[in-house]
């Protein structure tokens, strides 16, 4: 079983709509969680950290569910520029960050 | 401030040749990572450095791959006797500390082996 699993998508989202997707992780002791975005043929960029209480950054909301071992990302009022692959990142037992394979989001006009 | 930089941005080489890829991490970051990404695929971890030492080389695909880091800063990834399957984007990232800290990526080196 992979340490971090994501639905590859694509999630096709009309502009202005809300989209949400999850990422599951296998290590119950994980402490650090992040969302990165990766545009086509570009490097991954940190989008936001995910805190236990959940956190929001503008149109983006991240949640952590420790009991079910998943994190989620919600994007409100989607923009065309939100089209990207979103990578879920979780630390393993040795503190090493494990990257998921990504969820593709396509925002359409 | 300055981010992670990598050079060259693109490299085309003939099968069998050796290549060197360079990474300059963010100043003050003690941990440095190398990944590679084939087209449409996820990140494949290669190696990481804590200071100048490489505690985890588990991701290096073969003994043709090696990496070093000097002065706790610049790192070089060397691929000897390149093969066509080595073609990929090689990404370098750095973080302030090793455990649990967010990583910042460079723009990558796109390697094409012909």
At A5-50, the pLDDT tens digits run 999 999 999 999 999 999 999 999 898 999 999 999 999 999 999 9
Is the pLDDT at A93 greater than 80? The verdict is no
Q: Is the peptide bond before B8 cis (omega within 30 degrees of 0)?
A: yes
Question: CA of A103: which chain B residue's CA is closest?
Answer: B42
Backbone angles phi, psi at A75, to 5 degrees: -120, 120
Cβ–Cβ of A99/B43 closer than 8 Å? yes
Q: What is the pLDDT of residues B76-110, one digit of tens each?
A: 999 999 999 999 999 999 999 877 788 999 999 99
Structure confidence at residue A13 (pLDDT): 97
Alpha-carbon span B83 to B71, nearest angstrom: 30
- Which tens digit of pLDDT belongs to each residue from B1-40? 689 999 999 999 999 999 999 999 999 999 999 999 998 8
pLDDT at residue A94 tops 80: no
* A54-69 pLDDT per residue, tens: 899 999 999 999 999 9
Residue A42, classified by CB atoms within 10 Å of its CB into exposed (0-12), middle (13-18) or buried (19+), is middle
Side-chain half-sphere CA neighbours of A87 within 13 A: 23
CB contact under 8 A, A42 and B98: no
SS3 A91: strand
CA B113 to chain A, closest CA, distance in angstroms equals: 18
Confidence of residue A97 (pLDDT cuts 50, 70, 90): confident
**Nearest-CA distance A71 → chain B (Å):** 16
CA atoms within 13 A on the CB side of A104: 10
What share of residues in chain B are helix, strand, coil (percent, to 5)? 5, 50, 50
């Amino acid at each position: 079983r992979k340490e971090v699993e994501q639905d590859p998508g694509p999630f096709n989202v009309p502009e202005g709509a809300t989209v949400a997707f999850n990422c599951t992780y296998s290590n119950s002791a994980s402490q650090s969680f992040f969302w990165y975005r990766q545009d086509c043929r570009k490097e991954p960029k940190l989008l936001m950290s995910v805190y236990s209480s959940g956190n929001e950054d503008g149109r983006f909301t991240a949640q952590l569910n420790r009991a079910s071992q998943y994190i989620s990302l919600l994007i409100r009022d989607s923009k065309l520029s939100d089209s990207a692959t979103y990578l879920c990142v979780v630390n393993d037992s040795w503190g090493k960050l494990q990257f998921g394979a990504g969820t593709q989001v396509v925002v359409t006009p | 401030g300055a981010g992670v930089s990598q050079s060259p941005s693109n490299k085309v080489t003939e099968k069998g040749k050796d290549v060197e890829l360079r990474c300059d991490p963010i100043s003050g970051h003690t941990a440095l990572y190398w990944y590679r990404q084939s087209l449409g695929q996820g990140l494949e971890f290669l190696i990481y450095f804590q200071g100048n030492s490489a505690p985890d080389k588990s991701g290096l695909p073969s003994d043709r791959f090696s990496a070093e880091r000097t002065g706790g800063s610049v790192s070089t990834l060397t691929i000897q006797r390149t093969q066509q399957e080595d073609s990929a984007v090689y990404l370098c990232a750095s973080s302030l500390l090793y455990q649990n800290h967010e990583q910042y990526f460079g723009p990558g080196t796109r390697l094409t082996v012909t």
